[in-house]
Structures are given as structure tokens and as C-alpha cells.
Amino acid sequence: MTLEEARKRINELRDLIRYHNYRYYVLDAPEISDAEYDRLLRELKELEERFPELKSPDSPTEQVGAKPLGQPLGYLEATFRPIRHPTRMYSLDNAFTLEEVRAFEERIERALGRKGPFAYVVEHKVDGLSVNLYYEEGVLVWGATRGDGETGEEVTQNLLTIPTIPRRLKGVPERLEVRGEVYMPIEAFLRLNEELEEKGEKIFKNPRNAAAGSLRQKDPRIAAKRGLRATFYALGLGLEEANLRTQHELLLWLKEKGFPVEHGFTRAVGVEGVEAVYREWLKERQNLPFEADGVVVKLDDLSLWRELGYTARAPRFAIAYKFPAEEKETRLVQVVFQVGRTGRVTPVGILEPVFIEGSEVSRVTLHNESYIEELDVRIGDWVLVHKAGGVIPEVLRVLKERRTGEEKPILWPENCPECGHRLIKEGKVHRCPNPLCPAKRFEALRHYASRKAMDIGGLGEKLIEKLLEKGLVKDVADLYRLRKEDLLGLERMGEKSAQNLLRQIEESKSRGLERLLYALGLPGVGEVLARNLAARFGTMERLLQASLEELLEVEEVGELTAKGILETLRDPAFRDLVHRLKEAGVEMEAKERGGEALKGLSFVITGELSRPREEVKALLRRLGAKVTDSVSRKTGYLVVGEAPGSKLEKARSLGVPILTEEELYRLIEERTGKRLETLAS
């Protein structure tokens, strides 16, 4: 082995070992056996012994003993050490009106001495934090925040909790900087705040702050539970070498290299073309999975970028065209208290109605006691209100300078506003403990019937109220016992609508475990978690037996959520409800059998298996894995049957983990929580 070959292999091994350390210690989801891991480590040690000039203090072999006793090998905290970006990171200039976009194009015309219109690429401006990833010879070396543009903070360990960030690249410039945005999807953000609210803790103001806070966690295991995502749109070093002509090509290149380009982009010609896209995206804004505060307009032709260059702060070839962000002053006239499905009491501010970005705003959530304390808001106060993300009304601040002294503090009720039961206080959370509280029942039914849950369209709020009033239903299981005669007895319920409703209720039985879990409103469980739980456990029966450890293994389930779920699962009332739903014929199995339990993994098969190879391949694919025919460095596992071919040698030389057929099936059963027989068909 030459020195050069050794260097290559050593780098490969270090990278592999760091990756597996990370799977093991941070994600708690090892991909290879201990023996396999030891083999990699031994090989690295031996090579470093033979080629001492290649030793390095940051090799995983050197980390033994470097950490305090009891701390696992290679468990790495985020360091936040300062990192100088190889090339500067810029901000963007803003435009708030069409005129300002015109002025932007005119500046370009003057600088280039050429008339427009020019071709642009328009991208969503994702509201997150910009980051810089640095790759050497296709291997991710570090990732850092933008900081002041010249120097940022290293956040590699936390960035690696984002599953879509590639660690290795093929066919890229030797030194490469890839830039993009780390963000928290709105659903993850709402879930995180829901958790914090249940605990009575301070909530994050917006997804951007939540993303920043999560990326700045010292312990990547916490960051890993926060569901961060990333999207990439620019290159620093390596841009010239990549030989690209346009921004459009650049985005496609990033995609092809395996980077998530999730923010969407389109081409447009001239200011009018840009305006058309802007208008359309403004309308679509509330349907995006992330918060966008505008669009980014970039000249498509990269050769023009070189001609135009940068100001001290921002490129001259791009501009952020911001969405309107109206802020209005109004008065808080009253606070009412709402009781939710979990019995938690939420204060809602009643405002003197104001018009913001096209619709009337008259209610705003005040979340909880800490939020009110922090905001220091009183009844009668003038407040500044906007729509977060263009959708959710929010108090920005209290205009204390306008206080008259007549304002009154917000007092929490002692008793439940719905049932009169005495409220209990858990930390800062006020809760109605009465299991028969009608507010809980109403909310539970409404949520159960909602579109993303069991989708019983005919069961509106009015009808739910009537059904509760007449005592026809007490909980969701009672829905399945409704008869046509019951419904016809209600006012304004005709033969036809009764029939429709009963049909919808019948249809709701077969929505599958994913939807059912969401519909039952387990604490902290939104659509995504419901899907993850269903994928992991497969059946309600299996879920009911889950341990805390097993729940914690589920993607994006944090400690608090896990405990809350477990408590509910053990609750006799919940078990009884599930039992009655089952009796009624409600399906309790996951629809996507095994869901995407193997998503992100890739397999190659060699040799003869005990089952037809095509069947195994189909199963792996059904579970979300990739199956290919030849081994490369990117291969996740080689599955080895009887009389394996040359792929085995190749996999060994590349350090690709190897599984026997048995081990493969064990992996599948562990990941899906199901027996192989029930999966294969």
C-alpha cells in the first residue's frame, strides 16, 4: 500500500467511524454491529501504526481517553468554535415594492451598460438561518453559521442531525462551500411549542428563533429531536470549478449532488415576470411547509454576477423581495379562557377588530401564564399586532407609553369556564381535571372528525354540540353506535344528510392507524408523529405495549412527548376507548405497512437468499429503502446470501457494512416493529 492509498483509506475510515459513532451515540440508531464497528476501528489503528505520519489528533482513534471517563468514544458536543469562511457570506438587499424591484433592475442596466429585461431565477426566501458547509475531496469537514459573514460558529454536530445533509459527495470540486438555510418546518415548530406550553415553559416566538435555538444546542441529541431541515441554494468556493452557467443550472447541480433543494424555484423574465411569480407565491404562502418572508430574485446568468460583484453587505445581482408585513395598533378589550382537549386552559385575547393583510383580526392567542408575564399585557392595553408567517395573528408588543392607568391585570379563573370544576395548576399550566368536562368532549369530537384526522365532513360543530346536548354521544366511540333514528330526531336533520353522515362515519373506520393516532389526540402527536408511530409499531396492540425506550426511538419523539404518550397509553380510560373503537370495527393497523421504516437506507444483495430475491427487493423498497445492483461507497449495506459473488470483496474493501440474511430480517423487524411474515407478501 502506498502512502497515498493509505491516506485515502484512512480518511475513508475516519469518516465512516465518525458516522457510525454519530448513529450510535447521537441518534441512538446504530447501523452496524459492534463487531463490525470494532473491525473498522482496528483497521484504522493498524494503518495509523504503519503510517505514523498520517496520525492526526482529530482521528477517532485519538479520542479514546481524551474525553472524561464514562463519556462514550466519539460522542461529540457542538463546539461553537469560530470558523473563518473560506469565502465571505453575504446578506441580501431588500425590496418592499414593485418600484424597488424596478430600481434594482435599473441599477443592473446602468452597471452593465446594457438594457434589460434580464432573465432571473425566483426562489422562496425561507426564514431560517444561513449556514455554510465545507467539503474537502467530497467529504464534509465542517458546517458553520454565517456569523458576521466572515467568521461564523461551528455547528457541525447539530447540522448532522439533519438527515438530508450529505456527508459525502461525488464528482465535485476539491474544495467546496455549499450554502443554504436551516429551518424548522411549521409543523415541527408547532409541536415544539405545544410541548413547551404543556410544560409551562417559554415558547419560541417563530420558527426562525426555534431553528436558531436548536442549532445552538450543545447536545446534538436534543437538536436531533427538533426536526430541523435544510435547503441549499448557493456555492462559495468551487463555484468556478463546477463549470455552471446559470443559477438554474446551479440549483439542479445541487439536487443532483444530493442536496435538499426544498425551497422551490422558477425562472422569470424581467420585472413583470418576477412580479407574477411573487403574486402567485404570496397567495400560496400559507400552504408552504416552512415560513417564507418573501422571494429571492437572482440574475440567472452567472457571468453577470462576476461583472456586477458585491457591495460591502450584499450581492448586486440579487435582491430579496419581501412579503408585506403589516403591523397594526389595536386594543385588547377582554381575555377569555378556552379549554382544550387535554383540559389545558388557554387565554385568548379579544381585540378591537383590525384589518391586517386582507382580513379581519379580532382574536389572538396569549398562550399561557409565562407568555403573558413576559409580554406584560393587561386588559385595556394598546398592542401592536401582526400576522406571523402571514397567517397567525400575534401580539408583537404592548404599547406601554399609551397606558392610562385604567388597564387591569389578567386574572386566571379558579374554575373551569366550561364545567365549573376547580382548575388545577401544574407548574405554570392551568388544567381542568374533570374527565367529563364538555369542553374536552367537544374538542375531542371536533378534532376526531377533522379532515386530516378521520375526515367525517358531515359532523360539524353545531351537530357535535347537539349530539352532546342530547346525550347521544359522549366520546368518539359512541359515533359508531349512532342510528338513523337518533339523527332524524335532531332538528334540521333530513333523511339524506343522516344517510350521508352515517356513510362517512362508516368510511372513517378504515383510515388506518396513522390517522387514528392523530385523531385520538395523544399529547404532542401531530400528523407527522402519528405517522412515525404507526410506521414504528404497525398496530395499536403493539403500540399499547410500547416502553418508554421504544417510544424514544421513534423519529422526532422527545423525552416529554414520549412520557405524555406513555401516560395516555397506560390510562385505563384510553384503553377502554380503544377497546370500544375496535369493537366498532375501526381499523387499528398501519396503512402503509412498515411505512418508511427503512427510509434513507440503501442495500445491495449478493448470493442466494432463502426467499426469492425479487420479493426481498420489493419489500425493502416498500419500506422506503433504495435497492441497487452494484456496490459503491454510498451503499448502506451489502446483504450476503449463499455463495456470494464479487460484490462481497468490493464491499469489504470499501468498508461497506455487511449483513447476513438473518441480520437483514432482524433489522427490518426492529425498524418496523412487525414480524416478517406479516410484512412479506
Residues that bind ligand AMP (CB under 6 A): 91-92, 123, 125-126, 130, 181, 233, 263, 296, 320
Segment holding 613, helix H or strand E: helix 613-622
Query: Which of 156, 434 has the CB closer to Zn ion?
Result: 434
Q: Please report the sign of the dihedral spanned by the C-alpha atoms of residue 30, residue 33, residue 38, residue 43.
A: negative
The one of Zn ion, ligand AMP, none whose footprint includes residue 125, by CB under 5 to 8 A per kind, is: ligand AMP
Q: How many CB atoms lie within 10 A of CB 668?
A: 22
Task: Give the integer Cα–Cα distance in Å for 143 and 290.
Answer: 22
At 92 the three-state DSSP class reads: coil
The one of ligand AMP, Zn ion, none whose footprint includes residue 418, by CB under 5 to 8 A per kind, is: Zn ion
Residue number of the CB closest to ligand AMP reads: 130
Beta bridge partners of 408: 379
Query: Which of 432, 620 has the CB closer to Zn ion?
Result: 432
- 419 lines the binding site for Zn ion (CB under 5 A): yes
Query: Which of 47, 320 has the CB closer to ligand AMP?
Result: 320
The one of ligand AMP, Zn ion, none whose footprint includes residue 416, by CB under 5 to 8 A per kind, is: Zn ion
The one of Zn ion, ligand AMP, none whose footprint includes residue 419, by CB under 5 to 8 A per kind, is: Zn ion
277 CB-contact burial (10 Å; exposed 0-12 / middle 13-18 / buried 19+): buried
Cβ of residue 181: shortest distance to ligand AMP, in angstroms? 5
The one of ligand AMP, Zn ion, none whose footprint includes residue 154, by CB under 5 to 8 A per kind, is: none
Cβ of residue 340: shortest distance to Zn ion, in angstroms? 10
- 432 lines the binding site for Zn ion (CB under 5 A): yes
Query: Which of 196, 320 has the CB closer to ligand AMP?
Result: 320
- Asked if 342 and 316 count as a contact pair (C-beta separation under 8 A), the reply is no
From 8, 115, 125, 563, active-site residue: 125
| Window of 38-46, 322-330, 419-427, 494-502 that interacts with Zn ion by CB under 5 A | 419-427
Q: Please report the sign of the dihedral spanned by the C-alpha atoms of residue 332, residue 337, residue 338, residue 340.
A: positive
- 418 lines the binding site for Zn ion (CB under 5 A): yes
At 336 the three-state DSSP class reads: strand
- 345 lines the binding site for Zn ion (CB under 5 A): no
- The footprint of Zn ion on residues 525-564 (CB under 5 A) is none
Backbone angles phi, psi at 406, to 5 degrees: -85, -10
Query: Which of 123, 407 has the CB closer to ligand AMP?
Result: 123
Q: How many CB atoms lie within 10 A of CB 448?
A: 24
Cell of 462: 353545531
- 443 lines the binding site for Zn ion (CB under 5 A): no
Selected binder of Zn ion within 182, 224, 437, 533 (CB under 5 A): 437
Catalytic residue check, 674: no
Task: Give the integer Cα–Cα distance in Å for 317 and 105.
Answer: 9
Maximum distance among all Cα pairs of the chain, rounded to whole angstroms: 88
In this structure, which amino acid lies at residue 238? G
Query: Which of 149, 526 has the CB closer to ligand AMP?
Result: 149
Please count the CA atoms within 13 angstroms of the CA of 548 that sit on its side-chain side: 7
Selected binder of Zn ion within 169, 416, 463, 464 (CB under 5 A): 416
Task: Give the integer Cα–Cα distance in Å for 251 and 678.
Answer: 42
Task: Give the active site residues.
Answer: 125
**Which residues would be at the binding site for Zn ion (CB under 5 A)?**
416, 418-419, 421, 432, 434, 437
